[in-house]
């Protein structure tokens, strides 16, 4: 796994898992682009990505953190990193990173081809400006909402072959169990995210060993990757402010926008789609899940699954199990 830090003007952690194939052949294997949920800390998915690639070694993976979670300690102008990035900001942020990543691959391949006196630009990775590598894209939770809009903006540039919605919060998030509790609070206290983030300063005064013990008890002894991601998250006020600020906007914005969902389905009807729901999801109301599923009944290349066992935050304790489920869906729908 490689960390990439130069794909956006906004400091961003991007995890890149190269294909097991040789670089000159890697373009013949699919690229999986992953958009995380909230909090958008990509470290939560480390074990999931590793399990995916263990099952499919030639699969290239690009996992992109949400903007606002990476503040350079050496920066002399911290004010520019104090804003809360909106849903629209996050969408544009991912579009920029995906374009820059694919363009950088194209440039490297073009230089290699030209150095070998190969003038056929199709081998450089594009045909008439469209990247030819097959691309899978998946979004988790609110990442699915972002993913829909990312796909629409990149349809003419990226060769999408699979779209995955993982416990997606794309309709009426405020009607979910958690939404029913959070929405009244953020309406009553608009600065709720800033208020809560101040408490993370207190954690810095608690000895690390004691803090680690308490966190382990609260999370029920999580795997190392989840423990490290959570420990880093709760000790950084800006990350908490960003996460809760985005969650506040989600309550107001992600409601009954069925028109967008149906238009998206229509504009991407030739691309296989996978919807995976949890029946014990505290962020997706079961009635909302039912309504989404009913809207998909006439779709010919859509796979809908649900589970009483897999939870919304599968990346904490169920990474390997859900990776197996993901690989099965990919291999079934990818032709």
pLDDT tens sequence across 70-121: 765 555 455 666 788 999 999 999 999 999 999 988 666 555 444 455 444 4
Q: How confident is the model at residue 186 (pLDDT cuts 50, 70, 90)?
A: confident
CB atoms within 10 A of CB 311: 18
Which pLDDT belongs to residue 140?
98
Assess contact for 19 and 104: CB atoms under 8 A. Answer: no
Mean residue pLDDT across the chain: 85
Average pLDDT (295-302) is: 90
DSSP 8-state class, residue 174:
G
Q: Phi first, then psi: what are they for 112, rounded to 5°?
A: -65, -45
pLDDT at 84: 87
Q: What is the DSSP string of 252-269?
A: HHSSS-HHHHHHHHHHTT
2-4: strand order across its sheet? 2-4, 14-17, 60-64, 31-35, 134-140, 159-166, 273-278, 302-307
Q: What is the pLDDT of residues 257-295, one digit of tens each?
A: 999 999 999 999 999 999 999 999 999 999 999 999 999
- Residue 330's pLDDT band, with cuts at 50, 70 and 90, is very high
Instruction: Please say whether the dihedral angle defined by the alpha carbons of residues 238, 318, 95 and 277, taken in this order, is positive or negative.
Output: negative
Q: Is the pLDDT of residue 32 over 90?
A: yes
- For residue 204, report the phi and psi dihedrals to the nearest 5 degrees: -65, -20
Model pLDDT, residue 72: 59
Q: Does domain 2-173+256-333 bear CATH number 3.40.50.1820?
A: yes
Lowest-confidence segment of 45-54, 194-203, 257-266, 280-289 by average pLDDT:
194-203
Residues 6+ apart with CB under 8 A from 273: 162, 163, 164, 165, 265, 296, 299, 301, 302, 303, 333
Q: Name the residue with higher pLDDT: 52 or 28.
A: 52
pLDDT tier, 203 (very low <50, low <70, confident <90, very high otherwise): low
Q: Mean pLDDT over residues 131-140, rounded?
A: 95
HEC assignment per residue over 41-88:
CHHHHHHHHHHHHHHCCCCEEEEECCCCCCCCCCCCCHHHHCCCCCHH
304 secondary structure, DSSP code: E
186: Cβ contacts below 8 Å, ≥ 6 apart = 192, 247, 248, 251
Q: What is the DSSP letter of 130?
A: E
What confidence score (pLDDT) does residue 125 get?
A: 59
Residue 111: what pLDDT? 53
Residue 230: pLDDT band (50, 70, 90) is confident
Q: What integer pLDDT is reported at residue 307 of this predicted model?
A: 96
Residue 122 has pLDDT above 70, yes or no: no
Q: How confident is the model at residue 18 (pLDDT cuts 50, 70, 90)?
A: very high
What pLDDT is attached to residue 81? 64
Instruction: Name the more confident of 287 and 227.
Output: 287
pLDDT of residue 28: 76
pLDDT digits (tens, 9 = 90+) for 154-170: 999 999 999 999 999 99
Per-domain boundaries in the chain: 2-173+256-333
In this prediction, residue 79 carries a pLDDT of 61
**Residue 276: what are its φ and ψ, rounded to 5°?**
-120, 120
Instruction: Give the per-residue pLDDT at 241.
Output: 84
- Tell me the per-residue pLDDT of 66-81, one tens digit each, with 9 for 90 and over: 998 876 555 545 566 6
Residue 239: predicted pLDDT: 82
Stronger pLDDT, 212 or 179, i.e. the higher one? 179
């Amino acid at each position: 796994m490689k960390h990439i830090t130069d794909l956006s003007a906004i400091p961003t952690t991007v995890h890149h898992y190269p294909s097991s194939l040789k670089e000159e052949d890697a373009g013949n294997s699919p690229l999986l682009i992953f958009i995380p949920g909230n909090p958008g800390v990509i470290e939560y998915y480390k074990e999931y990505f590793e399990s995916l690639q263990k099952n499919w070694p030639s699969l290239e993976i690009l996992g992109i953190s949400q903007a606002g979670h990476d503040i350079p300690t050496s920066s002399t102008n911290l004010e520019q990193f104090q804003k809360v990035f909106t849903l629209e900001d996050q969408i544009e942020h991912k579009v920029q990173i995906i374009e820059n990543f694919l363009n950088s691959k194209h440039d490297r391949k073009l230089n290699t081809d030209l150095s070998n006196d190969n003038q056929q630009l199709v081998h450089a990775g594009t045909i008439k400006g469209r990247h030819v590598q097959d691309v899978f894209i998946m979004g988790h939770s609110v990442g699915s909402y972002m993913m829909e809009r990312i796909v629409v903006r990149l349809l003419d540039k990226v060769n999408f072959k699979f779209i995955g919605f993982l416990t997606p919060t794309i309709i009426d998030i405020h009607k979910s169990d958690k939404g029913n509790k959070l929405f009244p609070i953020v309406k009553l206290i608009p600065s709720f995210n800033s208020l809560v983030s101040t408490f993370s300063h207190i954690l810095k005064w608690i000895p690390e060993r004691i803090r680690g013990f308490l966190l382990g008890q609260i999370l029920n002894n999580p795997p190392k990757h989840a423990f490290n991601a959570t420990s880093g998250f709760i000790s950084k006020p800006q990350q908490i402010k960003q996460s809760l600020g985005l969650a506040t906007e989600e309550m107001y914005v992600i409601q009954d926008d069925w028109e967008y969902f149906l238009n998206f389905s229509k504009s991407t009807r030739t691309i296989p789609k996978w919807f995976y729901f949890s029946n014990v999801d505290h962020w997706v109301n079961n009635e909302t899940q039912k309504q989404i599923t009913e809207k998909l009944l006439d779709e010919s290349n859509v796979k809908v699954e649900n589970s009483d066992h897999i939870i919304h935050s599968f990346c904490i304790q169920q990474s390997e199990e859900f990776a197996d489920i993901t690989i099965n869906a990919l291999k079934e729908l990818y032709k």
